[in-house]
Amino acid sequence: MQSIPVSKSLEGIRGSCFSIRLEYNEDFIIVHLPTIDKMTKEVFLEMKTLLDNWWMFWKTVGYKAVFAAVEPESKMNKLVRMLNFEYVGKDNDWVVYEFKE
């Protein structure tokens, strides 16, 4: 059985009313999307812009994709699709998406 490298975590992306925690190691990077009390068009556009800007950085340092895992019944499934994440599959009790070019 192959072991998974230990990951590290940090509050990496900060918006005007949210912060997104990043979990990473040499093999992957995962975004942990925040809970937002009221999603507005401005908040969505800010998230989209920040994600696009950070993607250029992640790609530069060698990541081929960024992942997000969401609970199956969560409204976050709609948000990740709107942010151009694509469905990858299920892992235990999570729906997994990836963002890449």
Q: What is the pLDDT of residues 65-75, one digit of tens each?
A: 999 999 999 88
- Beta-strand pair 86-91/94-99: antiparallel
* pLDDT of 6 above 80: yes
Q: Is 76 helix (H, G, I), strand (E, B) or coil?
A: helix
- Phi, psi (deg, nearest 5) at residue 80: -65, -35
pTM: 0.83
Q: What is the mean pLDDT of the chain?
A: 89
Name which residue leads in pLDDT, 38 or 67.
67
All structural domains of the chain: 8-99 (3.40.630.30)
Q: What is the pLDDT of residues 56-65, one digit of tens each?
A: 999 999 999 9
